[in-house]
Structure 1
Amino acid sequence: MTSNFAQAQQRLAARQQAREAENTARLAAQRADTSTSRAARTRAQLDRLPFPFARLNTAWDAVSSREGISWGLNAATALVGLGLYEFETNDVGITEALKRVWTA
């Protein structure tokens, strides 16, 4: 009798763990769906804006991707590339700040 009771307790605990894992997976999927749909709605809204602002999606993708930025340092100037745009600056402080922000 004790053996049956212990086995029943183990089965109940296993079912409870399975339910909790299923609920956790379901909640994670719902969160991913809502964040994806929110991002899609935001993208669609930005695409509907007039000319200069409609390109914000492209600019954000270039700036936020790791491949979108490149660093090349010369002696006195720094060539900084953000997406398709490159600029030179003599200000080492700005260059270092950009590097810290980007590599963080």
Structure 2
Amino acid sequence: MWTAKNFATNDVHSLDKLLIDGHGDQIHAVVPKEVIHQFVEQLHEGELIHVKKFNVSTNTVTYRLVAEGELKIYFSINTVVKKLENQDVPIPMHTFSFIDFSDFPTRCRKPKYLTGNY
């Protein structure tokens, strides 16, 4: 989880988080600055949560956190976040998206995949 800022002005744009489910599927979640105050106490690294009433949008950013991340979720004033009572559910804390080394050249200079341009 991190705060997205305009580094020139230090203005906060959003609170961002990478969510992972029990299958290891990932999605980029965005809490816009207008509602950060509503969720900042409920969102913590490594905790299992249930989220409902969020918005889904096409991911149009230049750099994607998730290689197959065509969608993002956005929290709104109506979003409900509840910490799960059972925190022992086997959900991975980390996931990785590996590609064959031979596929590197097809990703070079395509920033959406966060592959180095060396």
- TM above 0.5, yes or no, is no
| Higher RCO (CA 8 Å, separation ≥ 6 residues) | 2
TM range (shorter): under 0.3
TM normalised by structure 1 equals 0.25
TM normalised by structure 2 equals 0.23
Q: Rg: which structure is higher?
A: 1
Q: Give the structure with the larger helix fraction.
A: 1
